[in-house]
């Protein structure tokens, strides 16, 4: 039987594939039919190939779209991370985090360490892993996040904006402590954290120890209420080391910066909360 005798059937198959929106299967259909005719594959194997190729392309498109929606500043992976440069990091522990059980448990993961030690890289890489696992992700610096909440509050849409940020299974908040928070920003961030508490996972990166966050947010009451939520169901990864970005220019960095003390690790024992916080409310109403 020649290829020409297949044409009516092939045309119907192609129309069906167009209707099913399977462009990759259409691309490889003719070549797959020729392989069947040459006896290089069976009909069942050919069907399997068509479906597998289409599924692979669809998954690739899904991941690409989800990565754009996640607003990641760059695509970084765990495979690209140089663990040998940061010996203080437990590679096995980081790879275990990539299993994303902390996301399923709606926990908070803290990356703490001096600038340039890989906190953002690791948080982004875990975000990429979450996207590949079909979990929704959103990335923002603390400054941008608080700015968005403040703008929404001014426009009377704060509740909707908080609901938007609560849609994601994993919210990554980068650069806590790098820039001062605008007045009232701590309370806005608290409202978001409170809304996500035990409902969604977070990754936070900071160049300052959690004991210093009161200075970051400028409000000790808000700081206490924040830590109450952020330290419960939390894990910490402390990175003690030099800046990866400056590894080739260490001789140009002033001695007082190179020798600056590393951030202190957060307290290990985290007291368990005795109850659940209200679903909404100001920081002073939720402070225990």
- pLDDT over 70 (residue 231): yes
Tokens 């068509």 belong to residue: 50
pTM of the model: 0.79
Q: What is the DSSP string of 110-173?
A: EEE-STTSSHHHHHHHHHHHHHHTT--EEEEEHHHHHHHHHHHHHHT-HHHHHHHHTT-SEEEE
More confident residue, 37 or 243: 37
* pLDDT recorded at residue 100: 98
With both helix axes pointing from N to C terminus, report the angle between 142-155 and 185-196 in degrees, rounded to the nearest 10: 100
Mean pLDDT, rounded, for 251-279? 43
**Domains, the chain, ordered by start:** 3-66 (no CATH), 70-286 (3.40.50.300)
- Report d(CA 47, CA 42) in Å as an integer: 9
% of the chain exceeding 70 in pLDDT: 81
- pLDDT over 80 (residue 174): yes
Mean pLDDT, rounded, for 277-288? 41
Mean pLDDT over each residue of the chain, to the nearest integer: 85
Coil, strand or helix: which one is 105? coil
Tokens 């360490």 belong to residue: 113
- pLDDT over 70 (residue 248): no
- pLDDT over 50 (residue 159): yes
């Amino acid at each position: 039987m020649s290829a020409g005798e297949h044409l009516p059937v092939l045309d119907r198959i192609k129309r069906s594939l167009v209707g099913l929106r399977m462009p990759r299967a259409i691309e490889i259909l003719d070549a797959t039919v020729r392989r069947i005719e040459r006896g290089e594959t069976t009909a069942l194997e050919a069907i399997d190939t068509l479906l597998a190729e289409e599924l692979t392309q669809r998954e690739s498109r899904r991941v690409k779209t989800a990565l754009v929606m996640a607003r990641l500043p760059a695509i970084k992976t765990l495979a690209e991370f140089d663990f040998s440069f940061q010996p203080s990091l437990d590679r096995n522990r980081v790879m275990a985090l990539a299993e994303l059980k902390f996301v399923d448990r709606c926990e908070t993961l803290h990356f703490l360490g001096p600038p340039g030690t890989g906190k953002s890289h690791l948080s982004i890489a875990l975000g990429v892993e979450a996207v590949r696992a079909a979990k929704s992700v959103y990335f923002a610096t603390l400054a941008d996040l608080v700015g968005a909440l403040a703008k929404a509050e001014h426009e009377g849409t704060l509740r909707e904006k908080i609901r938007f940020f609560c849609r994601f299974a994993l919210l990554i908040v980068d650069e806590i402590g790098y820039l001062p928070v605008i007045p009232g920003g701590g309370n806005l961030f608290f409202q978001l954290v409170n809304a996500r508490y035990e409902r969604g996972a977070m990754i936070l990166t900071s160049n300052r120890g959690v004991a210093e966050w009161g200075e970051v947010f400028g409000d000790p009451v808000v700081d206490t209420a924040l830590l109450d939520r952020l330290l419960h169901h939390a894990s910490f990864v402390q990175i003690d080391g030099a800046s990866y970005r400056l590894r080739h220019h260490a001789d140009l960095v002033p001695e007082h910066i190179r020798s600056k003390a590393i951030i202190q690790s957060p307290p290990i024992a985290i007291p368990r909360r005795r109850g659940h916080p209200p679903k909404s409310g100001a920081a002073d109403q939720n402070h225990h």
